Amino acid sequence: MEHAKTPAALSLRGKILLPSGEWLLGQLEFLDHITAITPDNTAPPDRLILPGFIDAHVHGGGGADTMDGPDGVRTLARFHAAHGTTTLLPTTMTNPWDNVLFALRGIRRVMDEGGVPGGADIVGAHLEGPFISPGRLGAQPPNTLEPTPERIAEVLALNVVQAVTFAPELPGALTASFEMARAGVRIGVGHTRADAETVTDFLNALNAVGTTTCATHLFNAMGGIEGRIPGPPAALIADAHAYLEVILDNIHVHPGSFRLACAASQRVMLITDAMRAAGLGDGISELGGQRVIVKDGQAHLENGSLAGSLLTMDIALKNAMQAGISLAKASQMASGTPARSLNLSDRGMLEPGLRADLVVLDTDLNVLEVYVGGKKINVSPGTPEPHG
Ligand SMILES: [Zn+2]
C-alpha cells in the first residue's frame, strides 16, 4: 500500500445512547467518524456515552465573547468544549453595525483557518440582532436596525451566518427572512413586541416555502402566555415546525414553563445563551459594551435587566432531567434536535458514519471525557471552573 499507515481506531466502552433512545451496553469505535457500535456485556454501566452537545446560541464564556473577534471565539469554543459542547454557533450582540460585521468576519476567519484546536466545532454564526425590537431589548444594547436589503446582502456576502433572529413586526423582516432562508439560514423569532397573530402569520409565510424556523430563547424577550393574550410563546409552541430554543438555567425559564413546551412540542432544544462571565464566578463583567454584575450565580445589567446566562450545556442537561425529562429525551434536546434545526446531518446522534462528537458522563452527569471529530478535548472532570 502506498497509503500512510491507517491510524488505529479509538474506542469507548460504557452505556451508549442509541438514536432510538435506547441504551446499549457496549463499545463505540471511532476515528474522526464513528466506525462501529457493538454490544459488550462487560462494558462499565456507569459511563454514559452520549452525542456531544450542540449549542446554537452562545455569546461567550471563560472570559471571552464573540464580539472580541477571533481570539474570543477560540477561547469560548475551548471553554464550552470542556463542558461537553462539540458544536456551537458563536452569537453576535446587537451592537453598532461595523462591530457586528467585525465579529462575523472573525467567526468566518476562525472557520477558514480550520476551526479551533481543542475546542468545539464552529459551523457558523448566530446573528442575534440588530434586527430586533427596540422595545424588547432584553440584555441587548439599543443598537437595533431595520433589515434593509443592503444590510442583508452585506451579511450574506460573508457566508457565515447559519441562524438569525428577527422581530417579525419590523419593516422588511419577512422579505429579509425569505432572502436569508434562501441562503440556508435558520430564521428565529425573538426580541419581539409582536402579538401571537403577527408571529403566526410570519411563521406560516415561512413554513409555506419550507424554511426552518425557531423561537429565539422561548419565553425571554417576548410577551408571555395568558388565556386571553396568547403572545409569541403560544404561537411558537403551537407551530407544527418551529424549533424552540430554551435557556434552561432555572433563572431565565421556570421548569414549569419548560415542561409545557416539552409537552406540546418535539422540537425543544437547549441553548446556553452564555456570556463572557460563564465559568468565572461572581464579579464584574461585560456584555455588548454594557457593565454586568454577576452575583450568586445570576448576571444582571446595571438597570436590573437579566443579562446573558452563565449556563453550560452539561448543566442544562442536568436541569432538564431535574424537570422530569428522561436522559434520552434531554440528550435529544441537547444534540439531535439542534442538529436538525441547523440542517447538520453528520452529527447529533451516535451512529456509524457520523462524526465522532462524543461526551462521556458519569451517572451524576458530570463530564468525564469529550471528543470533537474524534480528537480528545482537555476537560477537568468534576472540577468547578476557577472563581475570579
Ligand atoms: Zn443571546
Q: How far apart are CA 329 and CA 172, in angstroms?
A: 37
Per-residue pLDDT at 384? 43
Question: Mean pLDDT per segment of 10 residues, for the chain of length 388 residues?
Answer: 70 98 98 98 98 98 97 98 98 97 98 97 97 93 95 98 98 98 98 98 97 98 95 98 97 97 98 96 92 92 89 98 98 98 98 98 97 94 42
Q: How far is the CA of 57 from the centre of ligand 1 (A)?
A: 6
Q: How far is the CA of 264 from the centre of ligand 1 (A)?
A: 24
Tell me which residues are annotated as active site. Answer: 273
Phi, psi of 244, rounded to the nearest 5 degrees: -125, 105
For residue 322, being part of any structural domain is answered with yes
For residue 85, being part of any structural domain is answered with yes
Q: How far is the CA of 361 from the centre of ligand 1 (A)?
A: 27
Angle at 293 between CA 288 and CA 297, to 5 degrees: 110
Per-residue pLDDT at 3? 60
Take residue 373 and report the three cell numbers written for it: 471529530
CB atoms within 10 A of CB 356: 25
Per-residue pLDDT at 306? 87
For residue 45, being part of any structural domain is answered with no
Estimate to the nearest angstrom the gap between the alpha carbon of 12 and the chain centroid.
Answer: 26
CATH number of the domain bearing residue 325: 3.20.20.140
Q: How far is the CA of 91 from the centre of ligand 1 (A)?
A: 7
Q: How far is the CA of 272 from the centre of ligand 1 (A)?
A: 8
Per-residue pLDDT at 248? 98
CB atoms within 10 A of CB 182: 11
> How many domains does the chain fold into?
1
Q: Each residue of 277-293: b (16+ CB within 10 Å) or e?
A: bbbbebeebbbbebebb
For residue 369, being part of any structural domain is answered with no
Full residue range of the structural domain in which residue 138 is found:
52-341
Listed residue (161, 163, 179) closest to 340, CA to CA: 163
For residue 366, being part of any structural domain is answered with no
Q: How far is the CA of 31 from the centre of ligand 1 (A)?
A: 34
Per-residue pLDDT at 4? 62
Q: Which amino acid is at 323?
A: A
Per-residue pLDDT at 383? 44
Q: How far is the CA of 273 from the centre of ligand 1 (A)?
A: 5
Per-residue pLDDT at 214? 98
Listed residue (371, 271, 383) closest to 34, CA to CA: 371
Per-residue pLDDT at 10? 96
Q: How far apart are CA 85 and CA 62, in angstroms?
A: 14
Per-residue pLDDT at 350? 98
Q: Strand 375-376 and strand 64-65: pairing?
A: unpaired
For residue 150, being part of any structural domain is answered with yes
Q: How far is the CA of 108 from the centre of ligand 1 (A)?
A: 19
For residue 172, being part of any structural domain is answered with yes
Q: How far is the CA of 385 from the centre of ligand 1 (A)?
A: 22
